[in-house]
Amino acid sequence: MGVSRLLPTGGTVSLGGTLDRTLTNLSYYQINPRYESGVSFSLTQPLLRGAGKAVTESGIRFSRDSKDIADLSLRFRTEDLVQQVETAYWSLVQSRVDVQAQAKSVAVADDLLRITEARLAAGAGTRVDVSQAMAGVAARRVDLLRTGNTARSFEDDLLGLLMSRSPGSPSGDDLRVEPADDPNVSLPPLPTEEPDATVARALVDRSDVRIDRALLDQAQSGVEVAESEAKVQLNLEATYGYSGIASRAGTSFTRSLATRDWPGWSVGLVLEIPIGNRAARARLDRATLLREQAEARLRALESNASVRVRNARRQLESTREQIDAARTSRALSEEQLEAEKERLKNDKSTTFEVLRLESDLTEARRSEIRALVGYRIASVRHDFEAGRVLESRGFAGPGAGADAK
């Protein structure tokens, strides 16, 4: 009977007790029956194979890394889902605004058709002008149908991200998403942090980089264990204890053992040298190769992440500049169209020219919306690439407690 404990150094300490009863018919045994008791303390400490805290706690280290990998994998999927949902949402907003712009274009074309027909009835226009106006109305109605179908597709994409589609769930025709945000209101500010600082922080915060660091740590732990197993076995063994003898079990402990009349101790080294040890060396070679592969994957991921962060930053700044240019273009197109309408009323322009300018205005409005939505999508992509898409939206998300290695 005894207790033992594993030490961080790889050794084992134990405390044990024994009680043996001997009964014989030999006449020269002075104590019969005889109870032999003993208490001993022993230490076994590996000096080569199996020595050290890294080997002893390798299982704990591997399990901790596995937990971090699971948490970070869930976090990465959550970050990716947030990016996809926001991208799909703003794409839907853009398509809905496109529908509104196209509907306004149809209304303008209808008004122009009525004006052209009135001018023809008054003898101031031609049938060619009416035909051009009718063709303009028809073309814009086709574009309106096309943009409507595109908007519905974006809506289905968003619904697919937000909810699962099971056989018993409502069909897509029964569900609608009504965006409540104006892309022109409360634009997120440009980051003030230097690009190099953003890259450095991204290499610490990104979930995929942290996953690969945890995998590298597991591979390193495997190498350390394999290196230990490839060594010879050399153990330090030490024992110290007392023995007691009496005719009664209790007396052997309380009297003979308590007086410590029969102490005993031993100290020695135990050496085992495996012949060949090819299996252990093969495991070491394999563990070393796995570590090198993990290091190569991490370096490649860090390089790719640096490029993606810088590209996302440039895209964010570029789309922000496009907004001002698109606003100016839309304002100028509105002025040109209104001026051309006045010229048409005074018989100084043609239906074709007004339709052309109206098409330019519609495209300018859509370009402005594309720039606004593009900036918002670039913003969420920048946050995703920088590894802080969850924190920038007010919650930590899964895997926030995993240690960055």
pLDDT at 17: 79
Predicted model pTM: 0.76
What share of the chain in percent tops pLDDT 70? 89
How would DSSP label each residue in 41-87? EEEEEESSTT-SHHHHTHHHHHHHHHHHHHHHHHHHHHHHHHHHHHH
pLDDT at 26: 67
The pLDDT of 205-220, averaged and rounded, is 95
pLDDT at 173: 60
The pLDDT of 281-286, averaged and rounded, is 94
Can you give the three-state secondary structure of the chain, one letter per residue?
CEEEEECCCCCEEEEEEEEEEECCCCCCCCCCCEEEEEEEEEEEEECCCCCCHHHHCHHHHHHHHHHHHHHHHHHHHHHHHHHHHHHHHHHHHHHHHHHHHHHHHHHHHHHHHHHHHHHHHCCCCCHHHHHHHHHHHHHHHHHHHHHHHHHHHHHHHHHHHHCCCCCCCCCHHHCCCCCCCCCCCCCCCCCCCCHHHHHHHHHHHCHHHHHHHHHHHHHHHHHHHHHHHCCCEEEEEEEEEEEEEECCHHHHHHHHHCCCCEEEEEEEEEEECCCCCHHHHHHHHHHHHHHHHHHHHHHHHHHHHHHHHHHHHHHHHHHHHHHHHHHHHHHHHHHHHHHHHHHHHCCCCCHHHHHHHHHHHHHHHHHHHHHHHHHHHHHHHHHHHCCCCCHHHCCCCCCCCCCCC
DSSP state of 347: T
Of the pLDDT bands very low, low, confident and very high (cuts 50, 70, 90), residue 261 is low
Residue 95 reports pLDDT greater than 90: no
Residue 377 reports pLDDT greater than 70: yes
What digits encode the pLDDT tens for the residues 122-170?
Answer: 776 678 878 887 888 898 889 889 988 988 888 888 888 887 655 555 5
Residue 20 reports pLDDT greater than 90: no
Q: Is 383 exposed, middle or buried (0-12, 13-18, 19+ CB in 10 A)?
A: buried
Where do the domains of the chain lie, and which CATH numbers do they carry? 2-393 (1.20.1600.10)
pLDDT at 169: 58
pLDDT at 125: 67
The pLDDT of 18-36, averaged and rounded, is 73
- Give CA 315 to chain center in angstroms: 22
